[in-house]
Chains A and B, each alone.
Chain A
């Protein structure tokens, strides 16, 4: 029983965070798979369009709606799952459109969907991914009855973007400045340049110089159109915030062992703590295990050319293992008090169901790599 296996049986929501390329999507899928096999109805909501992951779960493709992973896909595991596994892939544009269709006043829907600002906000532009992932999580958590939802987060450049997504919305809606700017226009029921002369014409003129007048007008038009939705945005943003802080929610911080990730891990860990969010575990993925001492002895019996090749390989593996051990020791030091779980680098990449299952054994502590401290105490040989 380790921290993650406990979380898998007790938490309702697990959020996997970490920088890009560390294997968040795989870890998310593995957690949901394990939980389902152990008897809880689970959902993994991924962000990366990883077709191989979909295939490994027996699905042709992952879409924006939840699909049940067919029991046949889990047969190779040799165990009979006691719960059901669902998977979906977050489609940003579709989720935005659904939101508008659901919450906007009927007479405003078409207008919003056709607005240029809305279209770029919902599809092409940066910064809305984190927010929409939060909206989806809220919907899944409140409208469905999964016992566990595992959310894979967008590969955010900055931890802050993600954690602040609900805050940003609340901040926006509650901001006095925006009200001051919009209220007279809202009361007048029309929008136009007059809006900006209501405030300070000097300020408005200067912004116009920067962005162009028409841009401001269109933006104001968009804000007017979504204004009736503010209350529901606000309500859900608060809900998301509470959800993230809830005891039933846990964060899994995924990283690779390299030292170049240390700053990011430190940053994520500190931010989560500051925000009163529970970090269940730090998962260090793709760790190179130290080759056993016995292998060096065994290699001595080979003919010289072959022995040289094997020893070269062992030396390289040793160096990688040592590097990883140093990185892990540093991660452990900065994430003091948070359980650290290592997953080894497998010979080949993890994208079939068997490999996910093997990964799960390490995640929940059925198998474990020796701690880096144990490694560094045994002197390595050249």
Chain B
């Protein structure tokens, strides 16, 4: 089984609230530990990842967090400027035109331009080269938006290609689409919880990524999984302690749900499903991320756990 280390662009998505940022942070950290120059990209968020890793928020500039690990929060205004500069080349031209009220106004009404520049900036990093021609980044970890927004976001190149007459924007869109569709470069990691709605949403996300964006799902992560603890025997003997039985049964039910969720994901996605148990640490920071990272080892390296 190939690991994520064979790919360069790792897209992490899933339903809102399932722990995407946690998983993205752990994956980025693991990639950096493997000695790969790693860039973790958040998309116009309140910046969780740098803080989860115990660093100050980095803002819209690519900033080094620690050995082999850089982070950036991709934001529309800055991305728009960089994108415009890439197309227009000259800063003065950008200033006279893009800081013109009328133009700014007009651009705002071009549908999806914002998403195009956000995605465009991330995929621009995917194309950056070192002087020797090798890619600048060995891994780019994208903490993508939640399901519905993720599809809209990643589909922007296709939609633009259908909407716009050929021109500079469609040329960019085509390049972007090619990177996303290349299975040798790009892999999606779908994060879920052992609950019915997140699992169903994961299946929908998988189909939408496959059919509408043509991004391949590499693996699923079942986050906050409950290991089995209480046997049927345990539960039977606790009948005399109704309150304790309630506590034990709740745990038992969650563990059963975890098994069901894993089966459903495996059966429908046809990719490996990796469990990350619910982590119990006071406060959720660096220490927790390191723990999560340990559970993602086989996903990253492709080697079975020993």
Contacts and interface: CB of A to CB of B under 8 A. Distances in A.
A162 to B, nearest CB: 13
Contacts of A348: 253, 257
Interface string A248-281: 0000000010111001100100000000000000
B197 A319 contact: no
Interface SS of A by simple majority: helix
B247 A206 contact: no
Nearest to B47: A263
A337 to B, nearest CB: 23
Contacts, number: 182
Contacts of A50: 197
Contacts of A315: 280
B247 A259 contact: no
Interface stretch (A27-35, A101-109, A174-182): A174-182
A274 B25 CA distance: 34
Interface SS of B by simple majority: helix
Contacts of A172: 109
Interface residues of B, number: 70
Contacts of B165: 212, 214-215, 218
Interface residues of A, number: 73
Interface string B156-195: 1001001111111110000000000000000000000001
A295 B245 CA distance: 10
Contacts of B170: 212
Contact of A212 (B149, B156, B167): B167
Nearest to B159: A124
B280 to A, nearest CB: 5
A203 B163 contact: no
Contact of B196 (A117, A214, A302, A351): A351
B107 A347 contact: no
Contacts of B250: 347
Interface string A124-163: 1111100000000000000000000000000101100000
Given A210-B84, A302-B238, 12 more contacts: A21-B17, A21-B146, A116-B162, A125-B156, A157-B44, A178-B105, A210-B87, A211-B107, A212-B167, A295-B247, A317-B247, A349-B195
Interface of A: 19-22, 50, 52, 116-117, 119-121, 124-128, 155, 157-158, 172, 175, 177-178, 180-181, 199-200, 202-203, 206-207, 209-215, 218-219, 223, 256, 258-260, 263-264, 267, 291-292, 294-295, 298-299, 301-302, 306, 309-310, 312-317, 319-320, 322-323, 347-349, 351
> Which 10 residue pairs across A and B have the least CB separation, nearest first?
A212-B167, A21-B17, A20-B16, A21-B16, A214-B165, A206-B97, A177-B102, A125-B111, A263-B46, A347-B250
